[in-house]
Every structure is written in C-alpha cells, then in structure tokens.
C-alpha cells in the first residue's frame, strides 16, 4: 500500500471502530455477527488491510447502514 491508500484505510478503520463502539458492541461479538474473523476486523479497524467489498457490506449491515454511508468521508 502506498501512503495515500494507507491513510484512507486508517480513516475507514477508525470510522468503523467508532461506529461499533457507539453501538456498545465489543469487537468479538461484532465480528461474529458480521460473519468475519475477529482478527480480520482488528486489522480493518487498525487500517492494516484492504478489506474486500463483501466484507465491507457485512460490516455496513452490522452497523445498520448502507455501504455508501460507511464509505462516505
């Protein structure tokens, strides 16, 4: 990943973590509900990975929002 991509993934991860915490859902439970691995969720929230579209759709569904709302700056 280049620096610009890395910053985008960090920003997205921070947003996902913030939204999850606002709903008072712990990481393990949220990952289970979204049918993704807890380690995968951790890596996404830390901005250390490029999540697949299907994974982002599952996360958006888990947060009760559309994928476009999740990706909006």
**SS3 letters across the chain:** CCHHHHHHHHHHHHHHHHHHHHCCCCHHHHHHHHCCCHHHHHHHHCCCCCCCHHHHHHHHHHCCCCHHHHHCC
Residue 71 lies in a domain: no
Where in the sequence is the domain holding 22, given as residue range(s)? 3-65
| Residue pair 33/62 in contact by the 8 Å Cβ criterion | yes
Residue 70 lies in a domain: no
Read off the CATH number of the domain in which 24 is found: 1.10.260.40
Residue 73 lies in a domain: no
Residue 37 lies in a domain: yes
Overall number of domains in the chain: 1
**What tens digit of pLDDT does each residue of 12-70 get?**
999 999 999 999 999 999 999 999 999 999 999 999 999 999 999 999 999 999 999 99
């Amino acid at each position: 990943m280049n620096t610009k991509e890395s910053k985008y993934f960090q920003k997205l991860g921070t947003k996902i973590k913030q939204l999850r915490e606002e709903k008072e859902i712990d990481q393990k439970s949220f990952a289970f509900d979204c049918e993704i691995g807890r380690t995968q969720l951790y890596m996404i929230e830390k901005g250390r990975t490029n999540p697949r579209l299907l994974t982002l759709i599952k996360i958006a569904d888990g947060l009760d929002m559309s994928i476009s709302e999740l990706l909006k700056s």
